Amino acid sequence: MKKHLVAIALVLSLAMNAGVLGILLVQWLTTKKQAERHERWLPESRESLGTSKSPELRRQYLKLRQKNRKEIQRSQETRLSFINSLQAQHFDEAESRRLLTEYLKAKTIMERALGESMISIKKGIKDPQTMQAFNARIRQRSVQLGKLANQDSLQADSLHQFRRPLRAKILQRIRHRRGNW
């Protein structure tokens, strides 16, 4: 009788393990491969920018985005420095204010560069279908910005899709510190 129970337990164990492995295999096969961080410049919601209707518009946008990469990077780095100064063990108000000023300058430079890029894209569009795709994307972005207007400006900064894990960690630490006050 003992051998019979052991055989039943072994079969049940093998069935459960096969089920778990099958679920993991199906999940692994069905999930899309995530793009490398340096390959992914635009969030998935920006597909309406013209990949299907106007690949030329998409190409121009990516080219200008690459041109502005230095300003974008600088803005993100200064924002991160500012946020890190707020969560530092020994808070230095003067240093935090200096980093805030630096961040605001970098953000202004970045926004101006991105705005100039958008103007040059709009100016260069000659195809009516491309213009329609561009206008649709601008309307979509306007709606997104309207939703972000009620949020904390540090949280709603541009290129938020690249900082989700880091932002979540920072927000968790800020909330934790607020809870400890």
User: Rounded CA gap, 83 and 76, in Å?
Assistant: 11
pLDDT of residue 52: 54
On whether residue 111 sits in a domain, the answer given is yes
Q: Which amino acid is at 34?
A: Q
Asked whether residue 173 is domain-assigned, the answer is: yes
Give the domain range for residue 106: 52-180
For 54-82, the pLDDT digits (tens) are 677 777 778 887 888 899 899 999 999 99
Average pLDDT rounded to a whole number, residues 40-47: 45
Domain membership of residue 43 (yes or no) is no
Q: For the purposes of burial, counting CB atoms within 10 Å of the CB of 79, is it exposed (0-12), middle (13-18) or buried (19 or more)? A: buried
In this structure, is residue 40 part of a structural domain?
no
Note if the pTM is more than 0.85. no
Q: What is the mean pLDDT of residues 111-126?
A: 87
Query: 44 in a domain, yes or no?
Result: no
> How many domains, the chain?
1
Domain assignment present for residue 175? The answer is yes
Per-residue pLDDT at 179 exceeds 80: no
